[in-house]
């Protein structure tokens, strides 16, 4: 006689790995338990629900992903397929993203090298990624030159700032005769808004600070960033779409992506229930109280996640360099590209709608 509860559950019954037909089949049939099963669930959730036609997808990026090549291997293909609608990132990811369209080389190295020797030899190390320090100097010169251009001499939000940077980086791709090697360029082409919640905490921010010392007029407007990201989510929910968040790592980009819902509900007082689908890739523990390890169930208490949608949340305890390429490959193997949202040029109307609804509730 079967146990009633167990009888409702799928059995551990994997295929022989040599008999799996393709990558999707491999993930679906061989990742049966523990964090392997969570990774399978994340692949399935992203491909089957989060990138559905009725879902808006925001992704947060922390860690040095672009110098490790994940921009080229995973993020750009997802953007070009229409599977990412807006981004919250560390500035470092966008800074290092420019090395490739500028034609600079990064190398596979070792984390066990002598850093004193590397310093003497003018070599920079990001764990096991190595490059000549001249790459930094020349990338700094590139960004500083851009930020001195007339288009940047005003107060602007991050979305506009990165859209205009992306225009120049896209031109660099074309000048090199290459394609799809820059996240910023892909976001420009596809009008994907890009936000950096700690814009001064990166080399791009330091280059902007230099131009301010020189008398240039670049200023960043964090209030606009908060309103635009919340308005993207509000637009989705008011148009009967789902809000999906894909959190790679933790830190400020994670909270910036998730705080859109508390801002709508708690600060603006507009009726909302929280994000609908949630994937987090993390190696952080929840018991230390740090945001990077905070779970979806904890996020429910803040109004960030819809409590009715907790089954549509997955936390995978691994690092992004493992999980992101697999989720991207699984999704691109299983799903056809979808129509691009092209939110960047619609941000003004989104914010205006949210503002008008806020005024009505106060009136």
Q: Which helix (H) or strand (E) holds 254?
A: helix 251-258
Tokens 């080229």 map to which residue?
A: 72
d(Cα 146, Cα 3) in Å, to the nearest integer? 67
DSSP 273-334: --BSEEEEEE---GGG--GGG--HHHHHHTTSB-GGGGGGEEEEES-HHHHHHHHHHHHHHH
3-state helix, strand, coil in the chain (%, to 5): 55, 15, 35
Q: Is 335 a catalytic residue?
A: no
Strand partners, 313: 278
d(Cα 266, Cα 277) in Å, to the nearest integer? 20
Catalytic residue among 237, 242, 254, 304: 304
Triad 60, 325, 320: Cα angle to 5°: 45
Tokens 């699984």 map to which residue?
A: 330
d(Cα 98, Cα 139) in Å, to the nearest integer? 7
Contact 80, 180 (CB under 8 A): yes
Q: Which of 254, 195, 203 is nearest to 62 (CA)?
A: 254
Measured on CA atoms in the order 146, 151, 156, 159, is the torsion positive or negative?
Answer: negative
Burial level of 105, CB count in 10 A (0-12/13-18/19+)?
exposed
d(Cα 120, Cα 60) in Å, to the nearest integer? 35
Q: 67-87 burial, b if ≥16 CB within 10 A, otherwise e?
A: bbbbbbebbbbbbbbbbbbbb
Residues labelled catalytic: 304
């Amino acid at each position: 006689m079967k146990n009633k509860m167990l009888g409702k559950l799928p059995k551990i019954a994997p295929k022989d790995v040599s008999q799996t037909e393709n990558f999707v089949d491999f993930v679906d049939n061989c990742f049966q338990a523990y964090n392997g099963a969570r990774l399978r669930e994340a692949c399935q959730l992203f491909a089957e629900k989060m990138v559905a036609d009725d879902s808006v997808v925001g992704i947060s990026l922390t860690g040095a992903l672009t110098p490790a090549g994940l921009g080229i291997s995973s993020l750009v293909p997802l953007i070009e397929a229409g599977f990412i609608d807006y981004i919250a990132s560390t500035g470092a990811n966008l800074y290092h993203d420019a090395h490739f369209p500028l034609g600079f080389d990064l190398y596979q190295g070792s984390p066990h090298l002598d850093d004193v020797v590397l310093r003497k030899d003018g070599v920079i190390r990001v764990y096991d990624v190595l490059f000549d320090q001249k790459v930094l100097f020349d990338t700094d010169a590139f960004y500083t030159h851009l930020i001195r251009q007339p288009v940047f001499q005003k107060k602007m939000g991050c979305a506009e700032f990165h859209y205009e940077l992306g225009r120049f980086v896209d031109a660099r791709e074309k000048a090199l005769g290459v394609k799809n090697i820059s996240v910023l360029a892909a976001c420009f082409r596809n009008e994907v808004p890009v936000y950096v919640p700690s814009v001064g905490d990166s080399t791009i921010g330091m280059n902007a600070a230099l131009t301010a010392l020189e008398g240039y007029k670049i200023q960043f407007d964090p209030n606009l960033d908060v309103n635009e990201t919340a308005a993207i989510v509000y637009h989705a929910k008011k148009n009967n779409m789902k809000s999906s968040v894909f959190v790679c790592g933790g830190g400020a980009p994670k909270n910036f992506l998730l705080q859109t819902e508390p801002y709508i509900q708690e600060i603006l007082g507009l009726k909302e229930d929280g994000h609908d689908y949630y994937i987090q890739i993390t190696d952080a523990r929840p018991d230390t109280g740090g945001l990077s390890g905070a779970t979806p169930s904890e996020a429910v208490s803040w109004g960030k996640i819809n409590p009715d949608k907790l089954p549509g949340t997955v936390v995978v305890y691994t690092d992004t360099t493992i999980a992101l390429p697999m989720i991207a490959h699984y999704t691109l193997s299983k799903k056809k590209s979808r129509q691009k949202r092209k939110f960047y040029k619609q941000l003004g109307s989104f914010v205006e709608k949210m503002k008008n609804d806020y005024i009505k509730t106060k009136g």
